[in-house]
Amino acid sequence: MQLSDLLTPALVIDEGRMMRNIDRMRRRLSDLRVGFRPHVKTSKSIDVSRRLMASARGPITVSTLEEAERFYAHGVTDILYAVGIVPGKLTRVADLRARGCDLMVILDSVDAARAVSTYCAAHRCEIPALIEIDSDDHRGGVKPEGPALVPIAAAMTDGATIRGVMTHAGGSYACRSTDAIAAMAEQERAAVVRAAARLREAGFEAPIVSVGSTPTATFARDLTGVTEVRAGVFVFQDLVMAGLGVCAVDDIALSVLVSIIGHQPEKGWVITDGGWMATSRDRGTARQRVDQGYGIVLDVDGRVLEGFVMSDANQEHGVISRRDAGMIDWASFPVGAQLRILPNHACATAAQHADYHVVNGSRDVIARWERFGGW
């Protein structure tokens, strides 16, 4: 099968680029002498994640219990569910653990810790957790020097246990230079190392000290005191990462194959069958120095068409135009021809599709890998 045989829009992975991204991150973390717990939320695919994991059992990070259940069904047992736990999800957590999955949860309040403890006492089970640390004012977590940290650990009783701390430096996505990302990586490291030290000083064990984001993992200069890194989007990379200097455009392994369905010459538009249902509405690069619209345009062989961008999107229609609003050689964009769109945010774009069509530097489709959604 070749790309021309696919019904569009279709999601395409270049396996060679993906493997180079994986190898680069592995070498990076090996040089920093830190463990790796890759985040599989970007791909939500067994086939992709097998290429990330240190072993068939993991470890991995997930963002949904659906992911945890799917990966456990494929033999992965070392899993961190890295979204704050709520009481209504504890039965699913306990069920996975009862079947042999070493599933950890995260929390950042005394109320959540008490809820886990109450559940464990009532059901005579064990649920381990990491305390989420706010290292950058980005979203959840407690401050490493804040008054809530030790009481959270103290509230974990009756089978609810603390294994350590974790943080996510999502603020790194707003950095304006690689030096700023490196500074954010140090801020991230210092926050969790200090939090872990406070827990130990209070008599609690904290064997896991976990950090994670693709930008900080890429530019961290020192991870002393950290035991593991969680990163996910690096596997495919995307235009937001390219805008941050994390990767080059040529490193982006994910694209959406679309077909040209018409022209609007008076508007300078090439119309495709790939709207936001195929590429997502993510406009992450709009906050960066270069706004990439809904994505950069490639030819079917994966070569960048300089000056062209996916400038607009309806549900099932994509608009391709020139950045400079200049003249278009319409003969180069015949109806039925295929193009590929590089995404702003790989996670959001992949989430629009049910499977990946795998290529390796050519138009030959060498495999189809299933992906899944749900919570």
Arithmetic mean of pLDDT, 232-250: 98
Confidence of residue 243 (pLDDT cuts 50, 70, 90): very high
Q: pLDDT averaged over the chain?
A: 97
Q: Would you say 23 and 368 are in contact if contact means Cβ atoms under 8 Å apart? A: no
Can you tell me the mean pLDDT for 90-99? 98
Tokens representing 100 are: 């042999």
For residue range 305-361, list pLDDT tens digits in order: 999 999 999 999 999 999 998 899 999 999 999 999 999 999 999 999 999 999 999
Q: What 8-state DSSP symbol labels residue 172?
A: G
pLDDT at 137: 87
- Specify the pLDDT at position 294: 98
103-147 pLDDT, tens digit per residue, is 999 999 999 999 999 999 999 999 999 999 999 988 899 999 999
Task: Say what the pLDDT of residue 231 is.
Answer: 97
* Contact partners, residue 331, CB within 8 Å, separation at least 6: none
- Alpha-carbon distance of 288 to 105, in angstroms, equals 33
Task: Tell me the Ramachandran region of residue 32: left when phi exceeds 0, alpha when psi lies from -120 to 50, beta otherwise.
Answer: alpha
Widest distance between CA atoms in the chain? 72
Q: What pLDDT band is residue 248 in, cutting at 50, 70 and 90?
A: very high
CA–CA separation, 4 and 259 (whole Å): 10
Mean pLDDT across the stretch 138-163? 96
Give percent above pLDDT 90 in the chain.
Answer: 98
Nearest-angstrom CA–CA distance, 168 and 162: 18
Residue 364 has pLDDT above 90, yes or no: yes
Instruction: Report pLDDT for 316.
Output: 98
Q: In this predicted structure, what is the pLDDT of residue 138?
A: 83
Q: Which residues contact 89 (CB under 8 A, 6 or more apart)?
A: 65
What does the pLDDT look like over 276-296, one tens digit per residue?
Answer: 999 999 999 999 999 999 999
Whole-angstrom Cα distance, residue 38 to residue 55? Answer: 12
Distances (CA, A) of 335 to 129, 263, 300, 351: 55, 8, 14, 27
Whole-number percent of the chain with pLDDT over 70: 100
Query: Among all chains, which residue has been given the structure tokens 């020192």?
Result: 222
3-state helix, strand, coil in the chain (%, to 5): 35, 25, 40
The closest alpha carbon to 152, from 112, 125, 122, belongs to: 112
Average pLDDT over residues 241-264: 98
Domains of the chain are: 3-10+247-370 (2.40.37.20), 39-231 (3.20.20.10)
Position 139 scores a pLDDT of 86
Asked if 266 and 272 touch (Cβ cutoff 8 Å), the reply is: no
CA distances 349 to 310, 354, 363, Å, are: 14, 11, 21
For the chain, where are the alpha helices, taking DSSP H only? 15-31, 46-50, 65-73, 90-98, 110-123, 149-154, 178-201, 214-219, 239-244, 276-279, 346-350
pLDDT tens digits for 192-235? 999 999 999 999 999 999 999 999 999 999 999 999 999 999 99
pLDDT (average), residues 230-245: 98
